Amino acid sequence: MTAPQIELVLSKDLDQDLRKIADKVIAGERITFDEGVILYKKGELAFVGALANFIRERKHGDNTYFNKNFHVEPTNICVFDCKFCAYSKLLREKTEYDAWELSEEQIIEKVKSYEGTAVTEVHIVGGVHPKMGLHYFANLIKKIKEIRPDIHVKAFTAVELEYMCRKAKVSYREGLQILKDHGQNSLPGGGAEIFAEAIREEICKDKCTSDEWLEIHQTAHEIGMPSNATMLYGHIESFEDRVDHMNRLRELQDKTGGFNTFIPLKYRNGNNQMSHVEEVSVIEDLRNYAIARIYMDNFPHLKAYWPMIGRDTAQISLSYGVNDIDGTIDDTTKIYSMAGAEEQNPAMTTEQLVKLIKQVNRKPLERDSIYNIVKDYTNEF
């Protein structure tokens, strides 16, 4: 979408504040915190979608990324008690039917089962288990790399890392360096939830603080480990809380440049302590993606995590600022399916992913974990 085309889209009578924001976006200028809040309060879907798509196409054209990955979730036993989580089980609940604790041998066998396949990434996250510490995971990563030296290990949320380092009595820098020396390549973006301290106190008060999350990611960037960032939206947070969250990430990205992608994560209300909170609509999902693309001007990529929102919404999001829909997953993650996500068995073949992207006239590109292009699937399937 060119500047004249977007001018045509926005040519109707506009609120003065929205017109000012549109002019700044077209000029490539950064919008302010207050303008981000205005977008949430005044920006209708068609308006924010047009701006977000303009930015998406200016940055990436029709390029749409996915990767071939699988997840390892060592356990859902967790020392923390997040009110929104349907996934984790407290240690005292470990005998329940839906609690699990994989042995090292089971994890290694899972990795071995992908030998000879074209996956490029293993994503390791799970509950915070008191017996699975820093050195346990460092040695596990070393063994994974011995099996698949080429695979990118993206592992451990800042919540897991804070606990690991605290238990091991090492600094974040020391702990992250140990993991890096054993083969870890990057960090996922989980555990950020919402940075607003009052909301965090209510929904996840016993896990790492906002400042600790940001410090861990900054430290990872400083030692050469890139990461992703997330935001849990659609629960009890305000629009101001969302913009505050994105603003803290934007400021850290200005400082380090170490974030690859931003991933808004929709709150799902199944089987948790906040099930009384209604989920937001698909329209709000798309508005949130679009506003994130407008506000997060220094994040190169915006990802829609399809197992959480479903294939149809992920496909539509490609016209609302999103340029990445994650990976093939291969039915190996339970974090969102246990909370009532759209995808109860989240697996898509490469052919399915490619067709999903091509159906909306976007260009499907397989990427690695740091967005190097592995293969162009434009003429495939």
318-347: pLDDT as tens digits: 999 999 998 765 544 444 444 344 454 557
**Residues 6 or more apart from 355 whose CB is under 8 A from it?**
381
pLDDT score recorded for residue 128:
67
pLDDT score recorded for residue 256:
98
Task: Judge whether residue 279 has pLDDT over 80.
Answer: yes
Residue 309 within any structural domain of the chain: yes
Q: Average of pLDDT values for 182-199? A: 96
Task: Judge whether residue 225 has pLDDT over 90.
Answer: yes
Task: Judge whether residue 88 has pLDDT over 70.
Answer: no
Residue 50 within any structural domain of the chain: no
Q: Average of pLDDT values for 69-79? A: 79
Q: Which amino acid is at 100?
A: W
Task: Judge whether residue 130 has pLDDT over 90.
Answer: no
Residue 29 within any structural domain of the chain: no
Higher pLDDT, 58 or 100: 58
Distance CA 56, CA 302 (A): 9
Task: Judge whether residue 96 has pLDDT over 90.
Answer: no
Residue 224 within any structural domain of the chain: yes
Give the single-character DSSP code of 318. T
- What is the domain range of residue 354? 60-371
CATH of the domain at 245: 3.20.20.70
Please report, for residues 78, 133, 218, 285, the alpha-carbon distance to residue 245 in angstroms, rounded to integers and kept in the order given: 25, 29, 15, 16
Q: Which amino acid is at 42?
A: K
Residue 4 within any structural domain of the chain: no
Distance CA 23, CA 18 (A): 9
Dihedral pair phi/psi, residue 89, rounded to 5°: -125, 135
Higher pLDDT, 223 or 14: 223
Q: Rg of the Cα trace of the chain? A: 20
Residue 134 within any structural domain of the chain: yes
Task: Judge whether residue 13 has pLDDT over 90.
Answer: no
For the chain, how many residues are written?
A: 381
- Residue 113: both structure tokens together: 């089962």
Task: Judge whether residue 139 has pLDDT over 80.
Answer: yes
* E strand segments, the chain: 63-67, 69-72, 121-124, 152-155, 227-233, 259-266, 301-302, 324-327, 363-367, 373-376
Residue 381 within any structural domain of the chain: no
Confidence of residue 102 (pLDDT cuts 50, 70, 90): confident
Residue 233, beta-bridge partner list: 266
Residue 72, beta-bridge partner list: 124
Residue 35 within any structural domain of the chain: no
pLDDT score recorded for residue 196:
97
pLDDT score recorded for residue 93:
46
pLDDT score recorded for residue 100:
66
Task: Judge whether residue 83 has pLDDT over 70.
Answer: no
Arithmetic mean of pLDDT over the chain: 88
Give the total number of structural domains in the chain: 1
Distance CA 92, CA 90 (A): 5
Can you give the pTM of this predicted structure? 0.90
pLDDT score recorded for residue 334:
45
HSE-up of 73 (CA within 13 Å, CB side)?
17
